[in-house]
Amino acid sequence: MTHQPGSWRQPVQWQQPEAWQPPIPGWQAHGSWQQHGPWSGAHPGTWVPAPGAWPLGTVPWGYTNPPAVLPALEPPASFHPPGPRRSPLALKGRASPRLYGLGLALGLPGIAALLLYLIGVSAGFNLRTGAVPAWITLEAGAVVAAVGLIGWAVAQARQRRADGWQDYNGPSPLLLAGALLALTTALELPLGLGLKASGVDTESALATLLLMLTYFATYLGLVHFLAVRVGAMTWHDIARPRRLAPSPDDWGSSEPILGRTGPPGDVSPSWRARVRGGRVGDILIPLAFVVPLLFASNLLSFAMLLVLGLRSTDITAGTTTPTDGLSMLLLLIAVAVIAPAGEEVFFRGFTTNAWGRSIGRNSAILRASLFFAFIHILNTVGASTDASVSWRVALFNFGARVPVAFALTWLYMRRRSILASGTLHAAYNGLITLISFL
């Protein structure tokens, strides 16, 4: 059978389709927006807000997971416009050149001298100033460092607002941590002298309670005047952060997690929804972490004691265990209530919140957790005058708190609630304190 030319069907000429253009999300324009097709769990009513009005990091009707549309949150660190390059020592062109100069002249050398002194004390160094008492010299240095760093923090916040930062335009957590160290040192010295003059043991439960109250006031004061008052964040943002970098879980599906899935006035959410997304869950879920976290932390602590060649008395040197009921109660309040409250405000509500707006989620958790653990190296001061023991105690104080630091930071980022991390912190400290009483 012969093949006739043209008997084959000619192949259809393939035409390249037009380049696909993704739809422009309605929330990029601050106008009205029509709801995309219904999705599982969508609010059935006609109440549809304009997504342009959503706060960053949130989705409508209290959803943690949005519908299957493009997310309404820009990538982290995309709000930093390119600013002019300035020399760290240059004052020209700055929004607050005098405050910045104050920070360079007083804050930087002051905090450096204070840190060197604290390191020297741990190594057995004694401050000798002749006729001037040592505590006066230390007090003056702490006050100078605090004034300089606070001025630097204010100048930095003003500069970031002038440069157009939108994700977080407050002072750096590192600057405020330096101011915190300087202020607590400046307040702790006269408090200790006052207690001694009153005949109160500085290692007693009452002294510990007063010291924790001093720290708590310092935490709140710094965050309020240097972060909240300047408009970098609000107390509501600290308690229920809404502008943190999202995780894959936040955009992975369209199933609602939070209890409220409708406008105000809807029927109360179910118990399961309350546990998963409400304040009940912010309490019950952290409590379920306490015992496993305590077990993991103690296991790591025992391993570090063996590796570093330390004894338990090296870690608890200078501390006394109360024997009467009132002292136990005061110590429990100080360690399990006041101390966690202040630390959560500063290290989770402020520090993690600030970094969580500017960098990726995992980077924020890593940085904030290690920063919190590193701050506890300061607990080494006064523990021993033997340098070889002090550096090992410092390493222990850092490493033993890493699991707790990661748990607290992750919980704050995941639950977006300071109540959740605060509950875990208070329960963990309280359980350890009760065990020590036994």
Same domain, 410 and 293: yes
- Half-sphere exposure (Cβ direction) of 280: Cα atoms closer than 13 Å: 10
pLDDT at 276 over 70: no
Highest mean pLDDT range out of 12-21, 59-68, 70-79, 282-291? 282-291
Question: Exposed, middle or buried: residue 46 (CB in 10 Å: 0-12, 13-18, 19+)?
Answer: exposed
370 within domain boundaries:
yes
Question: What pLDDT score does 166 carry?
Answer: 77
What's the whole-number mean pLDDT along residues 255-279?
A: 50
130 within domain boundaries:
yes
* Model confidence band, residue 388 (pLDDT cutoffs 50, 70, 90): confident
* Model confidence band, residue 138 (pLDDT cutoffs 50, 70, 90): confident
Question: What pLDDT score does 21 carry?
Answer: 45
Same domain, 436 and 317: yes
What's the whole-number mean pLDDT along residues 191-204?
A: 89
Question: What pLDDT score does 159 carry?
Answer: 92
pLDDT at 168 over 50: yes
User: How many C-beta atoms surround the C-beta of residue 69 within 10 A?
Assistant: 17
Q: Is the dihedral of CA 406, 408, 411, 417 positive or negative?
A: negative
What's the whole-number mean pLDDT along residues 99-111?
A: 94
Same domain, 149 and 275: no
Question: What pLDDT score does 122 carry?
Answer: 67
Are 383 and 192 in contact, with CB atoms under 8 Å apart? no
For the ranges 274-283, 388-397, 404-413, the lowest mean pLDDT is seen at 274-283
User: How many C-beta atoms surround the C-beta of residue 419 within 10 A?
Assistant: 17
Same domain, 329 and 428: yes
What's the whole-number mean pLDDT along residues 413-433?
A: 94
- Between 177 and 363, where is the model more confident? 177
78 within domain boundaries:
no
Question: What pLDDT score does 17 carry?
Answer: 46
Same domain, 218 and 288: no
Same domain, 312 and 391: yes
60: Cβ contacts below 8 Å, ≥ 6 apart: 43, 48, 49, 51, 54, 66
* Structure confidence by residue, pLDDT tens digits, 319-361: 667 888 899 999 999 999 999 999 999 999 999 999 988 887 8
438 within domain boundaries:
yes
What's the whole-number mean pLDDT along residues 95-102?
A: 93
Same domain, 291 and 190: no
- Between 123 and 227, where is the model more confident? 227
263: Cβ contacts below 8 Å, ≥ 6 apart: 43, 45, 47, 61
302 within domain boundaries:
yes
Same domain, 132 and 207: yes
Same domain, 280 and 411: yes
Tell me the C-alpha distance between 48 and 313, whole Å.
Answer: 62
- Between 14 and 229, where is the model more confident? 229
* Model confidence band, residue 63 (pLDDT cutoffs 50, 70, 90): very low
pLDDT at 299 over 80: yes
In the chain, the number of structural domains is 2
Phi-psi region of 55 (alpha: psi -120 to 50; beta: other; left: phi over 0): beta
Q: Which of 207, 232, 257 is the last residue of a domain?
A: 232
Closest CA relative to residue 380, chosen from 110, 138, 121:
121
Q: Which long-range contacts (CB under 8 A, 24 or more apart) does 66-73 make?
A: 66/251, 66/254, 67/36, 67/39, 67/42, 67/254, 68/36, 68/39, 68/254, 69/25, 69/36, 70/22, 70/23, 70/25, 71/246, 71/251, 72/25, 72/27, 73/246
Same domain, 107 and 154: yes
The percentage of the chain sitting over the pLDDT mark of 90, rounded to a whole number, equals: 45
Q: Which of 172, 206, 232 is the last residue of a domain?
A: 232
Are 386 and 121 in contact, with CB atoms under 8 Å apart? no
Same domain, 277 and 422: yes
Q: Which of 185, 202, 232 is the last residue of a domain?
A: 232
Question: What pLDDT score does 135 carry?
Answer: 77
Question: What pLDDT score does 242 carry?
Answer: 77
Note down the domain range covering 396: 270-438
213 within domain boundaries:
yes
Question: What pLDDT score does 88 carry?
Answer: 84
Phi-psi region of 73 (alpha: psi -120 to 50; beta: other; left: phi over 0): beta
- Buried-state track 190-204, b at ≥16 Cβ within 10 A, e below 16: ebbeebeeeeeebeb
Tell me the C-alpha distance between 186 and 324, whole Å.
Answer: 31
pLDDT at 93 over 90: no
* Structure confidence by residue, pLDDT tens digits, 19-62: 444 444 433 444 333 434 433 434 344 433 333 333 444 443 33
188 within domain boundaries:
yes
pLDDT at 292 over 50: yes
Question: What pLDDT score does 84 carry?
Answer: 72
Question: What pLDDT score does 328 carry?
Answer: 93
- Between 10 and 417, where is the model more confident? 417
131 within domain boundaries:
yes
Same domain, 311 and 418: yes
Question: What pLDDT score does 234 carry?
Answer: 93
pLDDT at 123 over 60: yes
The CA angle 119-125-131, to the nearest 5 degrees, is 120
pLDDT at 74 over 70: no
- pLDDT, averaged across the chain: 77
